[in-house]
Structure 1
Amino acid sequence: MAYSISEVSKKFNISPFTLRFYDKQGLMPFVKRDAAGRRAFSEEDLDFVSLIICLKQSGLELEEIRQFVEMTQAGDVTLANRLEFFERQVTLAQKRIEQQKQNIEKLKRKVQYYKVACDMGTEEYVKNNFDLSIFDPDIKFIKTGE
């Protein structure tokens, strides 16, 4: 079965414009065209489009993805290179996840900071009464009487 660019767009929640752009950037040379020149995506193409989207969402630049596509088209002689490519991407993604975890903790501390400041009606209260480096996002503060 062949899928139109519109169907692929809906399936992956990505605009047809983006799919056309990826194609023009050399990321989808495998996609065939029908008699009218329209892209006709196969099931295998859908798997590869899904991988392209995954790589893009993982932070890769289009040039890096294109290099991977070229390795794929070169065949089995690039198997070891492709393995190394994915091992490197897993390592980089894990590092980004750890960084994002740290970012989330900092953001949670800021949420707590501003909740207390809002409850007290001033930032000064928080600055003068708490060690901001150890703010725990799970601790709940109750506004004291006025």
Structure 2
Amino acid sequence: MSNTNPPQDLSWLLEDFTRRVPGVMHVLLSSTDGLKLAQASLTTVQAEKVAAALSGLQSLSSALVDILEITASPSGLKQVLVEHEGFMLCLMKVGQGLPVGHGNAGTDPRTVGTCLGVVVEPRADPGQIAYEAGLLSVSLGEYLSTPVRRGGAAASGR
């Protein structure tokens, strides 16, 4: 069974995560190509900009695999941690580009992966945040792959 519909609104789940995990300020689900899927504690404009930034971090990780000639999949991102004096960001790839119901069969070119971005207070415990975000991503990963979009500027070569 292949899922070609956009993901359901999972903002309620992210809001629960924000309330439940100490130090969490914002949470965002986005496609690896930079589209906002669900958010907690962000305005729509903020979420769209953060989604683009998360896509850039994911792309940077893939580029480094190529540049440094590391024997790993360019799409093999597991986690990126950014520490800033005003916040920490934990980025995890949660969807592997698989349609729902295909388990770990491999990457399906008809889908785009999904990332989870968690912004926390600078004094939050990064180990706890990564652990909690990992639990969330494991439980949701199979449901979060995003179908590749057809048409628009990219398809027309603009």
Q: Fold-level match, TM-score > 0.5? A: no
Ranked by relative contact order (alpha carbons within 8 Å, sequence separation 6 or more), the top structure is: 2
The interval holding the TM-score normalised by the smaller chain is under 0.3
Larger relative helix fraction: 1
Write 1 or 2 for the structure with the bigger share of strand: 2
TM-score, with structure 2 as normaliser: 0.22
